[in-house]
Amino acid sequence: MCRTEQPPWVVRLPGSQVLIAGAMAIEPEDFGKNRHYRPNYEMLFHIDGSYRAMLSYPTESSLVWSRQGHSVRDVMNGKMTTNGNRPPPSKAFEIIEEPIHTRRPLRVLCLGAGYSGILLGIIWNQQMQDRGAELVIYERNDDLGGTWLENRHVVNRYPGCQCDIPAHNYAYSFEPNFEWPNYYATSTQIYEYLKRTAGKYGVEDYIKYNHSVKSAVWDESGGKWHVWIQAGGRLFEDVCDVFVNAGGVLNNSKWPDIEGIERFQGKLLHSACYDESYNCDGKRVAVIGNGSSGIQIVSKLAKSTSHLTTFIRSHCWISPAPGVNEPTDNDPQMDEEYNYAPAVLEQFKSDASACQAHCRSLMDRRLMNFRRTHTASEVQKEAQKLFTASMKKRLGDSPKGKALAEMLLPSFPVGCRRQTPGPGYLEALLQDNVDTRWDDIQRFTENGILTKGGEELQFDAVICATGFDTTFKPRFLLKGRGGVDLAERWESKECCPKAYFGIGVPDFPNYFMFIGPSSPISNGSLVQGIQAMGVYIWKCIDKIQTERIKSMTVSQGAVDDYFEYVQKFLDRTVWVEGCRSWYKRGTVDGPVIAIYGGTSFHYVEALRNPRWEDYEYSLLASPVSAKLNRFTYLGNGFTLREETGMTVGDTQTLGFNEFWDLFVLKNLYH
């Protein structure tokens, strides 16, 4: 870096403008921790009430500043000079004197610390150490876990709360849990697994709790996301190169749109923010909804309430057993509530191979059962017979049982609406203290609910198991290139939510999602899909950092073609049939916008080798050439390994498999 020995330093900007950065140096530790880059620190100055820092890079320097010393933002990219002795950039293309794939300083912000955000933190800890990149994960709650957070403020721990995916398919493949006590893990068990895993991989070093993202706006000229965060009573701005939304889709609870709900004087609860301090024992309770949470709540509370009324408006298939089929002799022993037998748990703890074999079997069966989603398939017809026989058998021949069968059994095929295992649910509906009402709510009253027939039913508590806002709209203001508002775009009648493999959106540069529209949420293992997304997003970040890319944006044409393929595939499945489903944003006949067109492993294979041609790119300006060239990142003809004097001779002694995998060897080039 060219500079005078003492300030003032001269910064020559494009054109003839010159800025003098003057006195009053500040120590580095006073600079603050929230810097957007990690270049070599030179000096920070306090000038006229604002902070200004001089930072050096391998081939250039930049002047950056921060209002009130809060955070650093690029304001100019003028080159450091001494009395203007350094020549301006050449109009012709010139080579940068740096090795190929030199990493530019990069700052990444991530929203959410559930399964997806934790995975990104694990990837960062394993692959991005000492790579000149910084990650911050903003989590609105006071602990990690996302949907499964065990938290005194925001809790998905309603009575009986369990995951309806087999527990051994709901763990990261690289971090199995041999001690799941249940076939379907409870919310507490999942939270504890995530907490333990995050601790093992150092993820919490990246997380800032009680920080809620309020808005994110793209700055095209600077190539940055400007993100506003609320932490307690403080609202502040952060700036990043890449913004990752790991908030998921089940993160914004939805109350029922029923007249007079605010008038109810009893205890009003929601399954997504359940008050565990409230005791329903011996009380008159109503449950609205018969999705996954409603089914689990009814199964649990029917045993302890004096009277329970469940209000439903949708037919539903209740799975006869774990997965789809009745248990076989090859399945581990479990009780009627699908708890593994003590002997099985001991075997899993002492013999990892036995547990791994069970995991593999579960995965293979789930993927084989994906064929059941094909409307005309024989396995779909068999599933229809199996589920019908199972539900009728469990409901029995009593007048109440027959009435319930008439009310619950769907005309649409198995799988159109998300099926639920529901241990004990049908049996609970048969109890004398349980009533089931079909689409029978007129409005709330102060003491309960007025039915459509004019009868007022009084309740001590009403539990709304009405799920989440599944429109995929971001819960915060998100504006991309040209001021495009993503919520407005996805709300419009002309455009339903579309995303490239559930990850990228046109007009939103350097913005990546986990579990966006058209993701593998019901296609096998969701966590396997999340892992594929995490690796893919890492590859995009790595490309941005090492190829002098200012921004990358998936093209509209690629998204339209992808959406066309997915919809054409889904036309052959049960998901397009006439049922009300959150896969269709709560509609009966709307397009299926939530689900991917293939198995979860098909999704992994599709993302294995990114189609970089589906993106549009904006390049960083070169410090030595005014001409933009996509191959500027090739640098001076050497690798960093060669530049730092490390051997490359081992490339001549590779076995065939090592040679074949050369492109993924971690330390070959860096």
Give tens-digit pLDDT for 321-345: 665 555 567 789 988 878 999 999 9
Angle (nearest 5°) at CA 252 between 503 and 428: 115
Residue 427 lies in a domain: yes
Judge if 543 and 428 occupy the same domain: no
Distance in angstroms (rounded) separating the CA atoms of residues 575 and 591:
9
pLDDT digits (tens, 9 = 90+) for 98-122: 999 999 999 999 999 999 999 999 9
Contact in structure between 305 and 459 (CB atoms under 8 Å):
no
Picking from 66, 81, 96, the residue at the C-terminal end of a domain is: 81
Highest mean pLDDT among 246-255, 356-365, 397-406: 397-406
Confidence of residue 17 (pLDDT cuts 50, 70, 90): very low
Residue 150 lies in a domain: no
Residue 645 lies in a domain: no
Residue 86 lies in a domain: no
pLDDT of residue 323: 56
User: Bridge partners of 90?
Assistant: 625
Judge if 416 and 456 occupy the same domain: yes
231: domain CATH number is 3.50.50.60
* Residue count of the chain: 670
The runs of H, that is alpha helices, within 74-219 are: 115-127, 187-200
Angle (nearest 5°) at CA 242 between 236 and 245: 80
Q: Say whether pLDDT at 155 is over 50.
A: no
Residue 4 lies in a domain: no
Judge if 73 and 134 occupy the same domain: no
Picking from 464, 479, 511, the residue at the C-terminal end of a domain is: 464
- For residues 88 and 546, the model is more confident at 546
Residue 636 lies in a domain: no
Judge if 43 and 71 occupy the same domain: yes
Distance in angstroms (rounded) separating the CA atoms of residues 157 and 296:
11
Global pTM? Answer: 0.82
In the numeric block, the tokens 């990246």 are attached to 206
Q: Which domain holds residue 218?
A: 106-140+210-252+470-616
581: burial class by Cβ within 10 Å (0-12, 13-18, 19+)?
buried
Contact in structure between 209 and 139 (CB atoms under 8 Å):
yes
In the numeric block, the tokens 């799941």 are attached to 180
How many CA within 13 A on the CB side of residue 422? 24
Judge if 610 and 589 occupy the same domain: yes
**Cα four-point dihedral sign 631, 632, 635, 636:** positive
Residue 290 lies in a domain: yes
pLDDT digits (tens, 9 = 90+) for 543-595: 999 999 999 999 999 999 999 999 999 999 999 999 989 899 888 988 999 99
Residue 345 lies in a domain: no
Checking phi first, is residue 67 left (phi over 0); if not, alpha (psi -120 to 50) or beta?
A: beta
* Mean predicted confidence (pLDDT) in 17-44: 36
Domain count for the chain, please give it: 3
Calculate the average pLDDT of the chain: 84
pLDDT of residue 85: 45
In 3-state terms, what secondary structure has residue 364?
helix
Judge if 316 and 415 occupy the same domain: yes
Q: Say whether pLDDT at 12 is over 80.
A: no
pLDDT of residue 455: 96
Q: Which two tokens stand for residue 377?
A: 């398939």
31: burial class by Cβ within 10 Å (0-12, 13-18, 19+)?
middle
Distance in angstroms (rounded) separating the CA atoms of residues 105 and 74:
12
Confidence of residue 354 (pLDDT cuts 50, 70, 90): very high
Which run of H or E residues covers position 542?
Answer: helix 526-546
Which run of H or E residues covers position 310?
Answer: strand 307-312
Q: Say whether pLDDT at 31 is over 60.
A: no
Q: What is the DSSP letter of 501?
A: T
Judge if 215 and 320 occupy the same domain: no
Q: Say whether pLDDT at 173 is over 50.
A: yes
Judge if 480 and 430 occupy the same domain: no
* Mean predicted confidence (pLDDT) in 407-436: 92
Listed residue (219, 225, 268, 264) closest to 244, CA to CA: 225
Q: Say whether pLDDT at 226 is over 50.
A: yes
Listed residue (87, 437, 37, 52) closest to 223, CA to CA: 37
pLDDT of residue 159: 74
Judge if 425 and 565 occupy the same domain: no
pLDDT of residue 30: 34
Judge if 509 and 584 occupy the same domain: yes
In 3-state terms, what secondary structure has residue 36?
coil
Judge if 278 and 411 occupy the same domain: yes
Percent of the chain whose pLDDT exceeds 70? 82
Judge if 410 and 537 occupy the same domain: no
pLDDT of residue 111: 98
List, in order, residues 6 or more apart from 99 with CB less than 8 Å away: 635, 636, 638, 639, 640, 642, 643
pLDDT of residue 376: 86
Q: Which residues of 490-505 are buried (b: 16+ CB within 10 A; e: fewer)?
A: beeeeebbbbbbbbbb
* Mean predicted confidence (pLDDT) in 127-132: 92
pLDDT of residue 326: 56
Confidence of residue 93 (pLDDT cuts 50, 70, 90): very high
**Distances in whole angstroms, Cα of residue 25 to Cα of each of 8, 11, 31, 52:** 11, 17, 11, 10
Confidence of residue 74 (pLDDT cuts 50, 70, 90): very low
- 40-54, 247-261, 316-330, 401-415, range with the lowest pLDDT: 40-54
Checking phi first, is residue 384 left (phi over 0); if not, alpha (psi -120 to 50) or beta?
A: alpha
Listed residue (130, 120, 126) closest to 503, CA to CA: 120
* Mean predicted confidence (pLDDT) in 455-461: 97
